[in-house]
Amino acid sequence: MSELIRKYNQPGPRYTSYPTVPFWKDMDIDKEAWKKSLVEAFKVRRNKEVSLYIHLPFCEQLCTFCGCHKRITKNHAVEEPYLLTVLKEWQLYTFFLGEDMVIKEIHLGGGTPTFFQPENLERLIQGIRALSLFDPNVSLSFEAHPNNTTEEHLKTFRELGFNRLSFGIQDYDPKVQKTINRIQSFEQVQSVHQLALDYGFTSVSHDIIYGLPHQTLESIQDTIAKTAQLRPHRISFYSYAHVPWIKGVGQRGYSEDDLPKNEEKQALYEYGKAELLKLGYEEIGMDHFALPEDELSIAHHKGELHRNFMGYTTQSTEVMIGLGMSAISDAWGAFAQNDKHVEDYQATINSGELAVFRGHFLSEEDEIVRRLILDLMCRYKASIPAQIAESEFINQELLQELISDELIHYKGNELEILEKGKPFLRNVCMCFDLKLNQREKREQLFSSTI
């Protein structure tokens, strides 16, 4: 395995979209064309089902591992004007899409959604409900910081119909926590985790990251052991993405020498994965594990798992609208991203215009490759259409290496990722990334795949 890690550990996308953001071609997106793409998306699907991602960017302190778009502040006066802007943005969408859209899913991400006061979050959700229809089985979820998630937060969210939340844990080791500026005790996590269960949340997820500065096999062992005590329904076991050339000051707060390297980092993953499997979790996709009774595991077995900018989901709505600063929307045939600065975003929305500033309108070829990569990410297998298999931009050298190393099985037009090959899922997808394979240099675009 060590030889394979050295061989395949190269910069590559995480494939929350295809094409990936660096290869989007519309750096000054035509807003009217974007609106038209959403209208057409609903016409093609003959329904008006939609998922909402709402980006709540504020955090009281900087976690230095974080790659998200955020604003660090302790000034909670920013809450109300920001949320009013989000509601105005949704109203702009309802103006041309209609108030008969059916919301299948809402996810609050950040930033730190629990930075916001419960009464303000309630005002946000009730405001959206007043402007649109909610599916009877709507999925409502939010991301939470264990240190500032209060009982009132949990009570309010449950009363609003939320049944799923995700706690950002990362690692329990004090040295690691100090380095990444994310100090939270196991006792605090245990308390708020149990409180969520007491309030009736049916799916509680924990995010754990491997590859953090000063992280060791011993610290991962301790983190997994503590996690086992709480037994969350889902676990996201992520590889730390070290991209200081993109994220700047935060990720430059420690040296690359502080990070576990290649085989050492992979050993953290292999240990964590093995322990999670022993604990009864199932590997349902890249970085994701769930208990067999969790709806993600059930969807995985049924071949119904979906993946978008919110991650893995059971909701297969192909239209997703992102609200808030930096949020990304997806009309299946087009992507659009909002302004990445709070002030610019708010000024544009409050002037009566959508805040999208860049995007990509997918070609027929893009859509075919997108579906192929989605199948690989959600099902570990895909049928390769002839027009893609015959493209000059398929990375045939990488593909043949993956076959030779017995990481994938590829016969006819059917490709399956073998158990040994699952840690190299991103590499498999890269074989068919026609945009990536046309570019000679990629070092400064993505984090390493391992």
Domain residue spans of the chain: 20-361, 364-438
Q: pLDDT-derived band of residue 441, with 50, 70 and 90 as boundaries?
A: low
> Residue 396: which region, alpha, beta or left (left: phi > 0; alpha: psi -120 to 50)?
alpha
Q: CA 181, CA 240: separation in Å to the nearest integer?
A: 15
Question: Residue 112, annotated ligand binder?
Answer: yes
Domain 364-438 class?
A: mainly alpha
Question: Residue 287, annotated ligand binder?
Answer: no
Question: Residue 158, annotated ligand binder?
Answer: no
Question: Residue 63, annotated ligand binder?
Answer: yes
* Between residues 85 and 4, the one the model is more confident about: 85
Question: Residue 199, annotated ligand binder?
Answer: no
Is the pLDDT assigned to residue 251 strictly greater than 60? no
Question: Residue 66, annotated ligand binder?
Answer: yes
Q: CA 382, CA 411: separation in Å to the nearest integer?
A: 11
Crossing angle (nearest 10°) for helices 217-230 and 186-198: 30
User: What is the per-residue pLDDT for 27?
Assistant: 78
Question: Residue 328, annotated ligand binder?
Answer: yes
Question: Residue 182, annotated ligand binder?
Answer: yes
Q: pLDDT-derived band of residue 1, with 50, 70 and 90 as boundaries?
A: low
The β-bridge partners of 51 are 105, 320
The β-bridge partners of 55 are 109
User: What is the per-residue pLDDT for 161?
Assistant: 97
Question: Residue 111, annotated ligand binder?
Answer: yes
The mean pLDDT of 24-38, rounded to a whole number, is: 91
User: What is the per-residue pLDDT for 444?
Assistant: 59
The mean pLDDT of 329-337, rounded to a whole number, is: 95
Q: Residue 165 is which amino acid?
A: L
For the ranges 221-225, 230-234, 321-325, 409-413, the lowest mean pLDDT is seen at 409-413
Q: What is the pLDDT of residues 200-243, one digit of tens each?
A: 999 999 999 999 999 999 999 999 999 999 999 999 998 887 76
Separation in Å, CA 99 to CA 46, 78, 94, 95, 177: 16, 28, 5, 8, 45
Is the pLDDT assigned to residue 408 strictly greater than 90? yes
The mean pLDDT of 358-387, rounded to a whole number, is: 94
Question: Residue 65, annotated ligand binder?
Answer: yes
DSSP 8-state code for residue 240: P
Q: pLDDT-derived band of residue 5, with 50, 70 and 90 as boundaries?
A: confident
Q: Which CATH number fits domain 20-361: 3.80.30.20, 3.30.470.20, 3.40.190.290, 3.30.420.40?
A: 3.80.30.20
Q: What is the pLDDT of residues 114-172, one digit of tens each?
A: 999 999 999 999 999 999 999 999 999 999 999 999 999 999 999 999 999 999 999 99
User: What is the per-residue pLDDT for 244?
Assistant: 65
